[in-house]
Amino acid sequence: MSQDAGNTVKAGLSRSEGGRRHQWSVLVVALAAALGAVVLPPLTIEQQFWIVLVPIGVFGLSHGGADPLILRRLAADRRGTVALMTTLYVLASLAFVALIWFLPTLALLVFLLLSIWHFGYTDASFLSAQPNALLLWLSGSLPILGPMLGHPAQTSELFAWLIVRDPEQVRSILELAGPVLAGVWLLGFGRLAYRYHHKLSSRVLAELILVAVALILLPPLLAFAFYFCVIHSIRHFLSVAQQGLGVGEVAATLAFLGRKAAPATLGAIGIAFGVWVVIVLLEPSTTLLVEAVRVMFWALAALTLPHGLVVKTWWESRLSAS
Ligand SMILES: CC1=C(/C=C/C(C)=C/C=C/C(C)=C/C=O)C(C)(C)CCC1
Ligand SMILES: [Fe+2]
């Protein structure tokens, strides 16, 4: 891929009407979320779980549900290639499930790192016309760093459920790592503002700050749902629509994608529900909530590796085709 071709398409995303409009709405929604978080009464993890279950299921997962469509496009609808790519996708997921099974703590760390990269990749393409690795890591790390800093006790408990460890032990690590990482983030932000202030609009810096504040103030599961549904999924759909079919057709394409993504999304929800029931039957001593949280995040984790690779491969192939 030539650097110029890459720049042209990314410039298209960051300057596109849909991208710009969405960037303004992110600022408004992040401000509203931050203000809402201040007046919100403290919520238990269980209350948060019931609030975010439907938005994450419907809104969030459907963006992964578009992967089969992207795979077909990547394979140019050649049956053999579609089958091969689908097999590789499933194998990558299964490899990650094996990692979760045998080395859960390492799996959580890899999941968090992959998520930061994947979130940042999408954000940076919308926020900057030129590739900007610093912006990628700053933006992508917010959904993980925010809950760690703002609500270390609940975030530790959620992590501890995933890796079956003592929440207090996880908390002592987070309370040390959180401020250190926040310091590194602030240094990076200072460098971004200083080095790129002429290239990036102040709206980008405002987005980073406002989204950071919202993610720190909101309780962890609400913070994640806000970022995942309102920012990540919408940007993903906008980019899929735009890169695939041209700016003018975004609305029609979103409706089309919605229809195409629905079967895989419903399938994923069905499988997740099935796994939940099986786990609960096998291990009736643990609570339903803990198992539900495990299914929700480990399912996302198992899909993150192939999903992130598919999205990147597809974007790069679009770039080199342009
Ligand atoms: C587990 C967990 C968290 C991280 C979730 C992540 C990292 C989700 C990634 C999803 C992806 C990458 C979806 C694909 O597009 C939080 C929010 C810090 C709160 C505490 C529990
Ligand atoms: Fe994604």
Concatenating the DSSP letter of every residue in 59-90 gives IIHHHHHTHHHHHHHHTTT-HHHHHHHHHHHH
Q: What are phi and psi of 271, to 5 degrees?
A: -65, -45
pLDDT band at 63 (very low <50, low <70, confident <90, very high): confident
136 residue type, one letter: L
pLDDT band at 317 (very low <50, low <70, confident <90, very high): confident
Structural domain for 296, as ranges: 3-316
Quote the ligand 2 centre to 282 CA distance (angstroms).
31
CA angle 182, 60, 301 (to 5 degrees): 65
Give the helix ranges, DSSP H, for the chain: 3-15, 17-39, 45-55, 61-65, 67-74, 79-102, 104-127, 133-150, 152-163, 167-196, 202-217, 220-225, 234-245, 250-282, 288-321
In a domain, 174, yes or no: yes
pLDDT band at 161 (very low <50, low <70, confident <90, very high): very high
| Total of domains in the chain | 1
For residues 75 and 81, is the Cβ–Cβ distance under 8 A?
yes
Task: Tell which one of 144, 145, 161 to mutate to probe ligand 1, the residue whose CB is within 8 A of the most ligand atoms.
Answer: 144
Residue 23 CB less than 6 A away from ligand 1: no
Residue 109 has pLDDT above 90, yes or no: yes
pLDDT band at 93 (very low <50, low <70, confident <90, very high): very high
Q: What is the pLDDT of residue 7?
A: 44
In a domain, 321, yes or no: no
pLDDT band at 277 (very low <50, low <70, confident <90, very high): low
In a domain, 322, yes or no: no
In a domain, 37, yes or no: yes
In a domain, 287, yes or no: yes
In a domain, 223, yes or no: yes
Out of 103-107, 110-114, 232-236, pick the least confident.
Answer: 232-236
In a domain, 118, yes or no: yes
What percent of the chain has a predicted confidence (pLDDT) above 70? Answer: 83
Residue 304 CB less than 6 A away from ligand 1: yes
Quote the ligand 1 centre to 112 CA distance (angstroms).
7
Rounded mean pLDDT of 117-126? 93
Residue 138 has pLDDT above 90, yes or no: yes
Residue 303 has pLDDT above 50, yes or no: yes
pLDDT band at 113 (very low <50, low <70, confident <90, very high): very high
Closest residue to atom 12 of ligand 1, CA basis: 115
Quote the ligand 1 centre to 158 CA distance (angstroms).
10
Q: What is the pLDDT of residue 196?
A: 85
Q: Which residues contact 273 (CB under 8 A, 6 or more apart)?
A: none
Q: What is the pLDDT of residue 69?
A: 81
Q: Which residues contact 80 (CB under 8 A, 6 or more apart)?
A: none
Indicate the annotated binding residues: 63, 118, 232, 236
Q: What is the ipTM of this complex?
A: 0.98
In a domain, 47, yes or no: yes
Rounded mean pLDDT of 215-241? 92
Task: Tell which one of 304, 305, 312 to mutate to probe ligand 1, the residue whose CB is within 8 A of the most ligand atoms.
Answer: 304
pLDDT band at 203 (very low <50, low <70, confident <90, very high): very high
Indicate which ligand has the atom closest to the C-alpha of 237.
2
